[in-house]
Chains A and B, each alone.
Chain A
Amino acid sequence: DQQVKQNSPSLSVQEGRISILNCDYTNSMFDYFLWYKKYPAEGPTFLISISSIKDKNEDGRFTVFLNKSAKHLSLHIVPSQPGDSAVYFCAASKYTGNQFYFGTGTSLTVIP
């Protein structure tokens, strides 16, 4: 059973606008969340993370929001750039845990 879900397989956004990628999880024991970006023929690369003691974490154009009560997190990219076109995976684990659970990915296309 998928414990981390990304319900939108794809998303298209105009360059300069905001991209919002969503992720839901079912396990209330998760308290550490990460977003990875993946280009074709490459491995995923780490983008940004958040622990459950926070509800927001920002790094440049990327912001992750965590809503623990809804078991929902989102990644905001502002402004979106063509180079952001990639597949984005969210992942979850316990902060001191050893296992990671990934979503199915959202393919983002930023249109110039």
Chain B
Amino acid sequence: EAQVTQNPRYLITVTGKKLTVTCSQNMNHEYMSWYRQDPGLGLRQIYYSMNVEVTDKGDVPEGYKVSRKEKRNFPLILESPSPNQTSLYFCASSDRTGRSSNQPQHFGDGTRLSIL
């Protein structure tokens, strides 16, 4: 089954304690991305990756890091989490091949992070 898998689904942690949210896709997609969803703000893009070892900032990258060492994995790293990073996070992937560069994204089911 084609899917984007995020772990953990829920996490409560404390300010300053490094954490990593993993994301894995089994569709051989080149493009992967992270979003956060906040009330009244919708989904905002944090980082995206066009392919292995190619990453770039989205709209709200401050306080986050990513890496893309393998095509299927795109972890989101919070080196020193703060309460304003409490949010619902989504990972997504899409195919970038073919006639159109843009293809719809497939989303994971989300990770709810609470930073106390």
Q: A32-B102, A95-B101, A102-B35 are in contact. Are A43 and B108 (CB under 8 A)?
A: yes
Question: Size range of the interface on A?
Answer: 20 to 34
**Which of the residues B44, B58, B102 comes within 8 Å of A96, measured between beta carbons?**
B102
Is residue B50 contacting chain A, with contact meaning CB distance below 8 A? yes
User: Nearest CB to that of A31 among chain B residues?
Assistant: B102
Is residue B105 contacting chain A, with contact meaning CB distance below 8 A? yes
CB proximity of A43 to chain B, nearest CB, Å:
3
User: Nearest CB to that of B35 among chain A residues?
Assistant: A102
* Whole-angstrom CA separation of A51 from B99 in the bound complex: 13
* Whole-angstrom CA separation of A60 from B41 in the bound complex: 30
* Whole-angstrom CA separation of A49 from B94 in the bound complex: 14
Is residue B109 contacting chain A, with contact meaning CB distance below 8 A? yes
Q: Establish whether residues A100 and B104, one from each chain, have CB atoms under 8 Å apart when the complex forms.
A: no
Q: Which 6 A-B pairs have the closest CB atoms?
A: A43-B107, A46-B104, A102-B43, A104-B42, A96-B101, A102-B42
Q: Which residues of B contact A (CB under 8 A)?
A: 4, 31, 33, 35, 40-45, 48, 50, 56, 58-59, 90, 92, 100-102, 104-110
Q: Which residues of A contact B (CB under 8 A)?
A: 2, 4, 6, 32, 34, 36, 41-46, 49, 51, 89, 91, 93, 95-105
